[in-house]
Structure 1
Amino acid sequence: MKGWTLTFALAAVFALCVGPFYWLAMAATHANADIFSWPPRFYPGDHLGENLATLDESIGLANVLQNTLFVATVQTAAAIVVSLLAGYAFAKFQFVGRNAFFVLLLSTLVIPGGVTIIPIFELMNEIGLIDSYPALILPNLSVPFGIFLMRQSLLALPDELLDAARIDGSGELRVLWRVVIPVMRPVLAALAVFLFLGAWNDFLWPLIALRTPEMYTLPVALATLQGLAKTDFGQVMVGTAISSLPMMILFLVLQRQFISGLLAGATKG
């Protein structure tokens, strides 16, 4: 009896987690008037092509996806490099004020992101980067959580392994490339999922920093579909489904590295 109870509970949790995504996928195939009809239509419709064509006409889907993919990829790659280098320095080098700087870095985690938007906007506007890709990427290069995760994981890496590479004549960058990165690959994959997810779904800062519709990322472009009097939810649903698809694929591909990377990050404090 206990086994059946556990099975039922897990099935219920699975349905709660997967149900909204299934309904989203089905709603994307129906006409606007049928999406919120009762009873709900949990079966495929025949308006997917029409919704997709209308969405492309409204926001320029290919261009928006290209913008979003470019910003998310570059931002993720650059933030990983910064996090790895900073975490390596905090974990493996002795310098004056190391612990104080690390505590100061961690203290920034409690600062709400909205508090920094105005000074960041003023800075980007002062140097003339508003309505450009650098305005979206540069403020997000330093990720305190990423630095913390790298530092905690690198603490578990034996210093003797790094010293052996240095004795063989390797510089610090070569030690990073040949020794640290291969060992840290699961943690880097976990951090990449976090960072890419945040960059792909970022809405508030791109909404403020961008002016030209041709520069819009997907979340900002989808927000323009919300009308004051009427909203074509067919477009919204298919756009939201497209927005969710890359993250599902990324997580499924990297799920093993993601889980092992999170566990590795918690092995040593």
Structure 2
Amino acid sequence: MGALTYTLVDLDPLDGITPSLQFKPMPYVPAPGQEIEGPRVSTMYSDGDAFQHVERFGTGTGVLGQGFARDDNLSITGVLSGRGDALSHQIEINAFAQTDGSTVRSGTSSVYTGRLEFDLSPNTAVVFDLTVDVEGNLVHGPELHEFYQSAVTLYLAIGNSPFPGFDSQYRQYTANTLPEFGGQRSLDITEMLSVSYQNLGPNTVSGFTSFDAWGQAYAGPLPPPIPEPRMLPMLAAGLFIVGWWSRRRRPS
């Protein structure tokens, strides 16, 4: 569990301007053909020869979710909730996979909040903090290949692309039975990601913050392919949960 909060700093206390950040009404509606910039949940699984992939794009402010369950051996869900208010968004991903020793199973989900647009007052700095919790455990012994991984990114952008102001922070988490990845069998991590921007000008600026997460669970008799940087799937057997709760912090 976690929370997205923000803090404002007055860069010129003598200008008579009260620091403020105002979020625009939800939901953010992407331009036609740009739906990938809006809220979305993508979920897929492979279970031996069976494979399925579903991607959903958010409309309105209701819960956006997608998931699969394959008996007791494989399940994957991705959920985006709290979409009625910019500071109440929550992402949760759960993945579980186990093998009988001959079948390769994996489940993957990625979730994106879409743009949380805002206006920032002149001579004001803003810092967004995102608290992330990750839990994961492997369920098989070292004779089988297990690998799970997750990643989280927090963004802040000002203006339109190419953004004159941009900041992001990325974290990646891994547990596995593979020596080349360190052989760590469990995760229990809580940490904070931060992004910031200083509006040094005399005018209000518009921008957005957003965050996304993905995770994948893998279990099988064969090792998974070596992932590429920042494109790493989470391959594992066990349980992965990552969640965020957004709550408004009053500017200090």
The normalised TM-score by structure 2 is 0.22
User: Which structure: larger Rg?
Assistant: 1
Q: Which one has the bigger helix percentage?
A: 1
The normalised TM-score by structure 1 is 0.21
Q: Which one has the bigger strand percentage?
A: 2
